[in-house]
Amino acid sequence: MKTFALLFLSLLYISPAAAAVYKYIDPQGRVYYTDQKKDRSYHLLAKLHFENDHVKHGSSYGMAQFRANKKKFSPLITAAAARYKLEPALIHAVIYVESSYDPEAKSTSDCIGLMQLKPSTARRYGVNDAWPPKDNIRAGSLYLSYLIRLFKGDIRLALAGYNAGENAVLRNNSQIPNYPETRRYVKKVMRYYQKLRRN
């Protein structure tokens, strides 16, 4: 936490319009804090907004906001699950890992929103603007449904395809590619998915 405090204070002296703090845990369990999100394994801890080199206001995306957003978006998730024959728990698990229910999340690879869709993937499913939660969840759920059918009901392969792209899985003889990020991603989503199914 000392490292986080130092990074937080250092952000007060920079002058861009906005800054963020991300947390990353490496495979050995070491914790890092940074203002750069390199991939989806970096989780947003706080956002800071600046004006005229001074803090205009600061907001922390903590557990209270997480719970509020989870409740807020649950009806949209339930509706998408029914429409595309998915378990709500699976969509929840993907959103939990992808964005922690933050509809404003954006990765350095331009994946956006709750389900971290690439604009090209969103357009593939008829969504030109993937920021609105309803459209983001709809396109993401439709893509997830397609992947589950493509991989004959194998949810782990579908999740690998969601993270790395279906072609990466197909090129690997329909097995999870040996990408550390993808393997971690599948494990995280499956762990949360199974937890939700038990509750």
What single string gives the DSSP state of each residue in 79-134?
A: HHHHHHT--HHHHHHHHHHHHTT-TT-B-TT--BTTTTB-HHHHHHTT-S---SHH
Domains by residue range for the chain, with CATH: 2-60 (no CATH), 64-198 (1.10.530.10)
Alpha-carbon distance values, 70 to 8, 46, 67, 99 (Å): 26, 18, 5, 11
Residue 32, classed as helix, strand or coil, is strand
Residues serving a catalytic function are 98
156-167 pLDDT per residue, tens: 999 999 999 999
Q: Is the pTM of this model over 0.75?
A: no
Per-residue pLDDT tens digits for 16-39? 334 566 677 777 666 666 766 777
List the chain pLDDT tens, one digit each, 199 residues: 444 444 444 443 333 334 566 677 777 666 666 766 777 777 766 554 333 332 233 345 677 888 899 999 999 999 999 999 999 999 999 999 999 999 999 888 889 999 999 999 999 999 999 999 999 999 999 999 999 999 999 999 999 999 999 999 999 999 999 999 999 999 999 999 999 998 8
Residue-by-residue DSSP string for 137-182: HHHHHHHHHHHHHHTTT-HHHHHHHHHH-HHHHHHTTSS--S-HHH
